[in-house]
Structure 1
Amino acid sequence: MNSESKKGIRKLDIVMLQFSVMVYSLSTVAGNMASKHEFLSPGYILFFGLDFCILGVYAILWQQIIKRFQLSVAYANKAMTLLWSMVWNFLIFSQGITVKKVIGVLVVMAGVIVMNMGEGKDA
């Protein structure tokens, strides 16, 4: 894909990239839910199966992402999983959000932004 067509759909690509990272982060939620059930119980199998399905959807999304971004940029954006995990922990598991967690996520987000700003420029 040439740089002109990348610029035309760049915002949509970034949304797709962040959506795929959000989907990936749901895998940790399903894994956490599975761990709350006895091994091979119906609840465990349900959440383990859900985890497997989430990872399958993510794998398909990831294949589309790496067609549109340099691998280093796409992979750096996976760090945004930390943000989504913090959101899911707060919403689903009622775990608190601390100042240290927010600072850590902001540092990661700054790194992701720097990586995205460099995308499309020749090294």
Structure 2
Amino acid sequence: MKKKIGIVDILQIQSAVVIYSLSTVAANLASKHDFLSWKYILFFGLEFFILGVYAIVWQQMIKKFQLSIAYANKALTLMWSMLWNFVIFSQGITPWKVVGVVLVVIGVMVMNLSGEEEKENDK
């Protein structure tokens, strides 16, 4: 049986999600250069490296969390990607993007709460 989800656990799984979202940054940076140029290869290689680190971290997270809870939190990649696009690429944040991310965050919260209720009912 898995333990109760605490703030440290949430920070750990979000760190995995942040790592995953950084792969989209590397992919975006690669796309701004000519195909097979050294900068393209550099950023494309960085993307693969980030995904490798993410795979290792993610394996540890799914040992700690129910799979449904882990995948629900993975949806927050949208929020992190929107943030990176704003900070790094100066792309705007529209009200509709915010509404979409808020809906995802609410869904994640509902999934996490339902996971806690299931644990309590199992006892």
Q: TM-score, structure 2 length as denominator? A: 0.91
Shift of 1:10: 2.6
2:93 to 89, 97, 108: 97
Pair 1:26-2:28 in alignment: no
Q: Secondary structure at the match of 1:92?
A: helix
Shift of 1:50: 0.5
Aligned twin of 2:60: 64
Aligned twin of 2:10: 14
CA distance in 2, matches of 1:92, 1:10: 31
Aligned twin of 1:108: 104
CA distance in 1, matches of 2:112, 2:89: 31
Aligned twin of 2:42: 46
Pair 1:88-2:84 in alignment: yes
Q: Which stretches of structure 1, 4 residues or longer, exceed 2 Å deviation after superposition?
A: none
Structure 2 residue ranges without an equivalent (≥5)? none
Aligned length: 119
CA distance in 1, matches of 2:61, 2:114: 17
Shift of 1:110: 0.0
Shift of 1:14: 1.2
Q: Secondary structure at the match of 1:118?
A: helix
Deviations 1:37-83 (A, max 9, x none): 11111100110110011001100110001001111110111110000
CA distance in 2, matches of 1:24, 1:119: 23
